Structure 1
Amino acid sequence: MSETASYASKPEMSLGRLYDTGPSPTRNEFQRDRDRIIHSTAFRRLQHKTQVFLAHEGRHFRNRLTHTLEVSQIARSIARSLQLNEDLAEALALSHDLGHTPFGHAGERALHRAMHAYGGFDHNVQALRVVTLLENRYAEHDGLNLTWETLEGILKHNGPLLDAEGRPAGRYVEEGLPAGLDLIAIPADLRLSTYASLEAQVAAIADDIAYNAHDIDDALRAELVTLDDFLGVPMVGPIVAEVQALYPSIAVNRQTHEVQRRMITRSVEDVIRTSADNIAASGVQSAEDVRLAGRSLVTFSQPVGEAEKGLKHFLFTRVYRHGSVMEPVLESEAVVERLFARYMADPDMPGRWGKAGRAVEGERRARIIADFIAGMTDPYALDEHQRLFDARPDFR
């Protein structure tokens, strides 16, 4: 790796881990985090968790794992160009979805509703629970024992949870902070009112770039829209027109790939230019300066940011809320809600989960059940539904 800038995160200056591991002769601390994440059970489960389209729709649609790998590639490219720590950016990109439920955002919505009386469910907090508590592979401790910087980035890559006065900020304004944050064992205060590192900010915007591009590709593959439907859509429309003019005779799948790769490239280049200007204008000289900057420094330019909002609106109305998507979405939400209600009444969960659930009641039982359900893959959730209700939803 080339030399990083002064404002990049430095593995040798890490605030450390909860449990001392001693130095490694071959890897820095952020590389060790990345490797622990890749070898975790939760990471492998991502291959059987929905991104947008359920697995029955076809084998070539993105799942949480393929999405995560695309985010990782984009994050490394941006981090390298900005002279940030690629290893931390990669670790955060690889871990950003570890707390997601089966059936994508539908499962998360259902579990949040089911947990409403117990503090709700939040996938970023759940990812922290996964890496600090629920992964139980190591002989000497629970969790993956990641560095403070990785834990901070997992929780705060989308921005602070509190404002300067200590009030819930961003997505937490209406419902308050998610339950359970005070129960997570960490090596140092995560400072909920400050921004996370530039590497975490890179992972967050790489997530946006990846799913914008691949959701277009998947929507076209599912025949929910055509390329022509995108001609008037901000951000992607001019690229579609350009590709159709340059390659009018090639197959649509090739045109689609040209659109997708050009959109990723231009989005990445815009972020690099804009973020470099933001960083220079802010005057930050260290990772601590970044946390205290008062705003995200890794951003789209204003015109591209506005266009990206227009694209998201189009995808929401024409793809995510399309009838053929919503029908299985609603059924998958019902699966999660039925599982939760059944386990609350009778925690008939396999192995250690059932034992733990039967030993407690109320909020503590609900949190154990949420942990169990959130860790399920799509097929496993359907298997449990079949076992408990002698019925298997048909999403076709």
Structure 2
Amino acid sequence: MTPERAAYATMWEESRGRFHDEAPSETRTPFQRDRDRIVHCSAFRRLGHKTQVFISPEGDHIRTRLTHSLEVAQIARSIARALGADEDLTEAIALAHDLGHTPFGHVGEDALDEIMQPFGGFDHNDQALRILTRLEMRYPTHPGLNLTWEALEGVVKHNGPVRDDPLPLTLSEVNAGFDLEVGTHAGLEAQIAAISDDIAYNHHDMDDGLRARLFTIGQVREAVPHVDAAFASVDRDYVDLPRPVRIAEAVRRLIGEMVADVLAEARRRLAEAKPENAAALRAAGRQMVAFSAGMAGREKSLKAFLFANMYRAPAVNEERADGMRIIGELFRYYLNKPHRLPEIWRDACAGPFDATTARTVADYIAGMTDRFAHRQYKHLFAGTTRLRLS
């Protein structure tokens, strides 16, 4: 049974359409088609070999961008159902939110952004839009996946209004022909996807950090009071649980607490604002889906612990340095020798050191998986002096 949508949900019947006109499907709504197109695209499959935190993790249980995206989608769909949002649009945005990430996690983005500064920089959110509208090639008549306005708006604005001046390159181009109203808040579905991302990565990164033994249960309990309370409740209910089960149960309870808090706070804000439809919700001037003040403080404390003990742990920092070097070397090589790119990329290049060539090289490298980037690096530089730009 399809749950009833709230008045302020994004209605697929009222979609603003797609960049390129298409005949409607007889069996799927526009937002179901958006979700399906994302799941079937090449960039989504590549997320299975892209890092969440660890670079090319050896452990089979460590999360990748793909598993993270699926976890975000699961949490988002649950919240969407409880709030009466469109579940399919929510899921589509959640599944697409990390498509623009480079190999080697955030370090890859940092490296590309630094080296692309003379050519407009690099941003993973803008790269996701670039993939969805430019780089995926699956149709004979146009590039991109031809998603709905609502799906593109959600991907672009899931973290809130875009205040950048100037706008990132791809967003500027897309927005000129398909106004995404970048200065307003996104619809309810994108807001749900964004907070589900926060819920997922905080607790699943903690889980991965404990699995990798970057820190102990005792250390995180001592530093983060609400995590301590979760483990204490598990220990009261169960005696002598195996360590992996104990961690999993604590994480499950922590996620449940955050979801419950989000639902209560969102319902409070929605009742206060009384948006009559999706347009009124976008124009409300504030986020409708958010943590309460108390939960926001608890989330901040967990983030601070993870930053100090995981994202900047010595072992992770060593991998970060390796990732920065690999991305930098590959970019310099292909910027200097664009004729060495695969044909589909080579044809878009104007010549060495050209801005169009630089963006094409960035697109190519950003699409690499961790292991492919490693292989390319070894193939190009094994036994040679590293290339530097003069």
- TM-score, normalising length: structure 1: 0.93
Alpha-carbon distance between aligned partners in 2 of 1:360 and 1:284, rounded to the nearest angstrom = 53
Residues 80, 87 of structure 2: 8 Å contact kept: yes
Whether 2:360 is the aligned partner of 1:368: answer yes
Equivalent pair of 1:213/1:263 in contact (CA under 8 Å):
yes
Find the partner of 2:183 among 188, 193, 200.
193
Amino acid at match of 1:108: E
8 Å contact kept, 1:231–1:241: no
Shift of 1:214: 0.7
**Map of 1:250 onto structure 2:** 241
Distance 2:93 2:117 in 1: 28
Q: Which deviates the most, 182-191 or 197-206?
A: 182-191
SS at match of 1:297: coil
Is residue 107–residue 332 contact of structure 1 (8 Å, CA) maintained in 2? yes
8 Å CA contact 2:10–2:86 kept in 1: the answer is yes
| Counterpart check, 1:204 vs 2:205 | no
In the aligned structure 1, how far is the partner of 2:172 from the partner of 2:311? 34
Deviation at 1:21, TM superposition (A): 1.2
Closer/same/farther in 2, CA of residues 215 and 48 from structure 1, 3 Å limit: same
Q: Distance in 2 between matches of 1:368 and 1:178?
A: 16
Q: Is 1:238 matched with 2:239?
A: no
Q: Aligned AA for 1:11? A: W
What RMSD in Å do the two structures reach over aligned CA positions?
1.6
2:170 to 180, 190, 198: 180
- The answer to whether residue 195 in structure 2 is matched with residue 224 in structure 1 is no
2:182 maps to amino acid: L
- Unpaired runs of 5+ residues, structure 2, are 385-390
Higher mean C-alpha displacement, 180-189 vs 327-336: 180-189
Of 367-376 and 344-353, the range deviating more from structure 2: 344-353
Which residue pairs with 2:387 in the alignment? none
- Offset from partner CA, 1:145-164 (integer Å, 9 cap, x none): 000000001111000112xx
**Residue in 2 that maps onto 1:384:** 376
Once residues 186 and 299 of structure 2 are traced to their aligned partners in structure 1, the CA distance between those partners, rounded to angstroms, is 23
Contact 1:17 1:187 in 2 (8 A): no
CA contact (8 A) 2:56 2:104 kept: no
1 CA distance for matches of 2:315 and 2:155?
33
Secondary structure at 2:347 match in 1: helix
User: Helix, strand or coil for the counterpart of 1:241?
Assistant: helix
- 1:291-326 superposed Cα distances (whole Å, 9 cap, x missing partner): 111111100111001110011000000111111111
Change in Cα spacing, 1:132 to 1:217, as seen in structure 2 (3 Å) is: same
**Contact 2:5–2:84, Cα closer than 8 Å, also in 1:** yes
Matched, 1:284 2:285: no
2:348 to 349, 353, 356: 356
Amino acid at match of 1:252: R
Query: 2:336 is matched by which residue type in structure 1?
Result: A
Alignment-mate amino acid for residue 253 of structure 1: P
Q: C-alpha distance in 1, partners of 2:226/2:48?
A: 29
**Aligned residues between the structures:** 381
Residues in 1 aligned to 2:114 and 2:63: alpha-carbon distance in whole angstroms: 26
Question: 1:67-82 to 2 correspondence within 5 Å?
Answer: 67-82=68-83
Alignment deviations for residues 96-143 of structure 1 (CA, whole Å, 9 cap, x no partner): 001000111110111110111111111111001001010001112110
Is 1:345 the counterpart of 2:336? The answer is yes
Give the Å deviation of 1:249: 1.1
Counterparts of residues 1-396 of structure 1 (less than 5 Å): 1-162=2-163, 168=164, 177-184=167-174, 188-232=178-222, 233-347=224-338, 348-359=340-351, 361-390=353-382
Which amino acid in 2 is paired with 1:192?
A: V
2 CA distance for matches of 1:116 and 1:65? 28
State how far apart, in whole Å, the 1-side matches of 2:291 and 2:225 are.
Answer: 14
The change in CA–CA distance for 1:186 and 1:260 in structure 2 (over 3 A counts) is farther
| Cross-structure match for 1:165 | none
Q: Is the 8 A contact 1:201 1:296 kept in 2?
A: yes
Long gaps (5+) in structure 1:
163-167
Is the alpha carbon distance of 1:44 and 1:368 closer, same or farther for their aligned partners in structure 2, counting shifts above 3 Å? same
Partners of 2:159 and 2:194 within 8 A in 1: yes
Q: In structure 2, what is the Cα distance between the partners aligned to 1:234 and 1:133?
A: 46
Check conservation: 2:113, 2:123, Cα contact below 8 A.
yes
State the Cα distance separating 1:354 from its structure 2 match: 2.2
Cα gap change, 1:314 to 1:130, in 2 (>3 Å): same
> For the structure 1 residues 267 and 229, does the alpha-carbon distance in structure 2 shift closer, same or farther, using more than 3 Å as the test?
same
Deviation readout 1:352-385 (Å, 9 max, x if unpaired): 1123225575211111111111111111111111
Deviation at 1:391, TM superposition (A): 6.0
Q: Matches of 2:14 and 2:137 in 1, distance apart?
A: 27
